Amino acid sequence: MKIDFFSALSKPGYECLDFDDTSQLSQQQRQEVLPYVRKGLFLLLVAIDHKYSRIPADKRLRHDLYTWAQDNLEHQFPEGGQSLEAIVQLAAESAEYFYAHCSHETKLITAIGTSIMTSTDDDELLYPDERNRLSSFCCNDGHSPPDATPWTAMLTHGLQLNAEYFGSHDPLVGGLMANSYRLFVEACSIEYRMQSGMPFHLTSHTGLHPIDEECAVEAFPRNIRSTSGVSVFYVCPIFRISSTQEVPSKYWISLVPKVSEFISHINDVFSCPKEILSGETWNYLSLRTRTKRQAGRSSRFGSKLWTFRDSFCELLENMQDTTLAVDRAFTSCISADANTSEQSGSSQDDPNAKLAAECWFAFRQNYISWHLQCKRYGLDGLDVERNTYTAEELCAPENKPLHLAYAGAALVLVTSALSYSYYFI
C-alpha cells in the first residue's frame, strides 16, 4: 500500500516534531514525540508490506562466537563485563536474523566482524586514547600502524578474516568487504571527534545560506552515514549462502548502492526513538536537519526553516521508494530471464537470478524483524499494532484520538530504550 507520508505527518499533533535539536528537548518533550514517531514507523511497515518473523537462537553460532570472544576480546576489555557481553549477544542476534538463509560459517564470520566493529564504536569499552588511534589504522591502509596497540591489531585481524572468507571465490567481493570495514573505522574516528564538537561548517553561523544556491555541506550527512553504516559489509554476506555456494556478483553488484541505502536508512529510521530519548546530535536525522537549516531550506510543513519533521518524513518516503525499487529490481530480473528462456526454447530459468531474489527477500524481512525485536530499539509490539489500526485510519484527514494502546506501547518504548544504551551500526 503506497503511503502519502507528507499528508500523514501533516495531521494535527505532528507539530511536536518541529524541533531542530533533540539535545535541547526536555525528557518530557522527548517522550511526547515518541507516539508520533512510532506511528510513522508503523506506516512504513504497512507501506513495504513487511511480514514479521521471529528467528530462534542458533545455539551453535552462539557457542562458537562466545568462545571466540573469550579467546580474543575478554583480555582486551578486562573491565568490559556487561558491555562486552551485550555486544557479543547483539552480534549473534543480528547474524541469526540477517543471514538466517545462510550457513554457520557465513553467520559466524560476519558476527565476529560485527563484534569487533561494534566494540570499536563503544565509548564504554574503547578508551579515548585507543579511539584516537583509529585514524592511524585507516591511514596505514587497514594494517596495524607502527604504534600498533592490541586493538588496532584486532581490527587488522577482523579485516583479514572477512576479506579472506568473502573473497575466496571472488576477490572483488572480498575487496568490497575490506573497503567497507576500513571506511567504518574511519567514520568512527570522525564521529568520535564530532562528540567533542561539530566540524566548522556545521556550527552556527550568522546569516542563512541563500536558498537559491547549492550548499556544499548538505552532502555531509549522507556521506558520513554511508560509511558509518558499514552497509556494504552487510550486503555481501546476503549472497554468500555458504563457504561453497554464493550468488555470483553480476546478479547483485549493480544493486549494491540501493541495498546499502536500505541497510543504513532502515537502521536510521528504527533507531530514531532511542536517539531522540538520548538527545544524540550526530546521527543521520540530526545531521540532516542541521545541514538543511544551515542551507536555509524551507520546511514543507509551514514553519520557516526545515525541522526534524521534514527529515523524518523525507526518510520514510525514501525508505518506501528504495525498498520497493529493490524488490522490483530482483523480481523483474526473474521475469525478464523467464521471458528470455521462453523465447530461446529453454524451460529453465537462471537459478542464480532466482536465488539472488530469494536471498534479498529473506534478508529484507529478517533485517527489519531484527530491529523490531531488539531490546535496544524499544520497539516492542510495533509489529502487532496492525491488528489494532489500519493505515487508512492513521492517514485519514480528520483528527482522531490516539488509541489507548499507543499510550501503553509508548511506555514500553520509553522503558526499553532508556534501559539499553548500546549502539549498533
Contact 425, 267 (CB under 8 A): yes
Residue-level pLDDT at 138 = 73
Grid look-up 532466482 returns 354
Q: Is the pLDDT of residue 417 over 70?
A: no
State the Cα–Cα distance between residues 224 and 229, nearest whole angstrom. 8
CB of 104 closer than 8 Å to CB of 61: yes
Check residue 145 and report its DSSP letter: P
What residue spans define the domains of the chain?
Answer: 1-55+255-323+369-425, 59-99+102-199+212-240
- pLDDT tens digits, residue range 99-152? 999 999 999 999 999 999 998 888 777 777 777 777 777 777 656 655 577 888
Q: Which amino acid is at 381?
A: G
Average of per-residue pLDDT across 38-46: 95
pLDDT at 234: 97
The neighbour count for residue 237, using CB atoms within 10 Å, is: 25
Distance CA 126, CA 192 (A): 11
Contacts of 4 (CB under 8 A, 6+ apart): 395
**Weakest-pLDDT range from 66-70, 102-106, 345-349:** 345-349
Residue pointed to by grid coordinates 514517531: 37
Among 82-86, 141-145, 244-248, whose mean pLDDT is lowest? 141-145
Predicted local confidence at residue 294, as pLDDT: 84
| Low-confidence winner among 14-23, 100-109, 341-350 (lowest mean pLDDT) | 341-350
Q: Which class for 296: exposed (0-12), middle (13-18), buried (19 or more C-beta within 10 A)? A: middle
How open is the CA angle 369-370-372, to the nearest 5 degrees?
65
Question: Residue 26 class from Cβ within 10 Å (0-12 exposed, 13-18 middle, 19+ buried)?
Answer: exposed
How far from 407 is each of 38, 177, 381, 386, 419, CA to CA, in Å?
11, 43, 12, 15, 19
Q: What is the mean pLDDT of residues 398-402?
A: 47
Give residue-wise pLDDT tens across range 164-175. 999 999 999 999
Q: How do residues 189-228 score in pLDDT, each as one tens digit?
A: 777 766 666 666 666 654 555 566 677 777 777 776 766 6
Nine cell digits for residue 73: 576480546
Q: What is the pLDDT of residue 135?
A: 75
pLDDT tens track for 348-379: 478 999 999 999 999 999 999 999 999 889 89
Query: In the numeric block, which cell numbers belong to residue 245?
Result: 555456494
pLDDT of residue 124: 73
Kindly report which listed range (60-64, 140-144, 250-254) carries the lowest average pLDDT score: 140-144
Report the alpha-carbon distance of residue 203 to residue 287 in Å, rounded. 11
**Which amino acid type is present at position 21?**
D
> pLDDT class for 277, splitting at 50, 70, 90?
very high
Contact 333, 306 (CB under 8 A): no
Select the more confidently predicted residue: 155 or 213.
155
- Pick the more confident residue, 193 or 279: 279
Indicate the pLDDT class of residue 386, thresholds 50, 70 and 90. low
Q: What is the band of 345 on the pLDDT scale with cuts at 50, 70, 90?
A: very low
Say how many CA atoms lie within 13 Å of 321 toward its Cβ.
Answer: 8
What pLDDT is stored for residue 131 in this prediction? Answer: 74
- For the beta carbon of residue 173, count every other beta carbon within 10 angstroms: 24
List CB contacts of 354: < 8 A, sequence separation 6 or more: 334
d(CA 268, CA 351): 34
